[in-house]
Amino acid sequence: MGFDAHIDAGAIRQVRGAAAALVPGLTNAEIVETWMGFRPQSADGFPVIGPSPVEGLIVATGYFTKGLDLAPVTAELVADPVCDDRLDPLVRRFGPDRFA
Ligand SMILES: Cc1cc2nc3c(=O)[nH]c(=O)nc-3n(C[C@H](O)[C@H](O)[C@H](O)COP(=O)(O)OP(=O)(O)OC[C@H]3O[C@@H](n4cnc5c(N)ncnc54)[C@H](O)[C@@H]3O)c2cc1C
């Protein structure tokens, strides 16, 4: 939670152990690089998708752990207002205005 960007040695051990269980040849593999990323989440836990109060700015964010899985459907939903000035009714309940 929050903006703590430190890299957790325990988590690295856990991932490494899981990888080695699947692929035993990785047991002694050298760790060349470590990396962390944030998983931003909205206040109600659902993505924020749709036109913002700034004209021409359409947002698609707050996906927490599902941003990759939901990228294709998000691209379609966001293309509607960008290309056709149309908004899928599904998007209305995810709009940024729900926090107004
Ligand atoms: C370790 C990890 C594992 C994950 N696994 C999965 C998974 O298996 N399946 C899944 O669906 N999702 C997964 N996710 C979540 C997924 O990565 C995110 O939901 C998704 O990347 C969010 O996309 P985004 O475009 O909203 O934000 P991001 O991908 O974070 O993109 C935001 C971009 O904005 C840039 N940026 C930030 N601030 C500024 C600024 N001031 N100026 C200019 N640029 C800026 C950043 O550098 C970044 O490139 C995982 C996340 C993490 C961290």
For 57-88, how does the pLDDT look when each residue is reduced to its tens digit (9 = 90+)? 999 999 999 999 999 999 999 999 999 989 99
- What pLDDT does 100 receive? 87
Give burial (CB, 10 Å; 0-12/13-18/19+) of 19.
middle
Nearest residue (CA) to ligand 1, atom 5 = 65
Ligand 1: centre distance to CA 24 (Å):
30
DSSP H or E stretch at residue 20? helix 9-22
Nearest residue (CA) to ligand 1, atom 23 = 67
Mean pLDDT for 14-20 is: 95
Ligand 1: centre distance to CA 38 (Å):
7
Find the angle CA(40)-CA(52)-CA(83) to the nearest 5 degrees. Answer: 105
Nearest partner of 37 among 5, 69, 71, 70, judged by Cα? 5
Identify the bridge partners of residue 49 per DSSP, sorted by sequence position.
Answer: 60
Reported pTM: 0.81
Ligand 1: centre distance to CA 65 (Å):
9
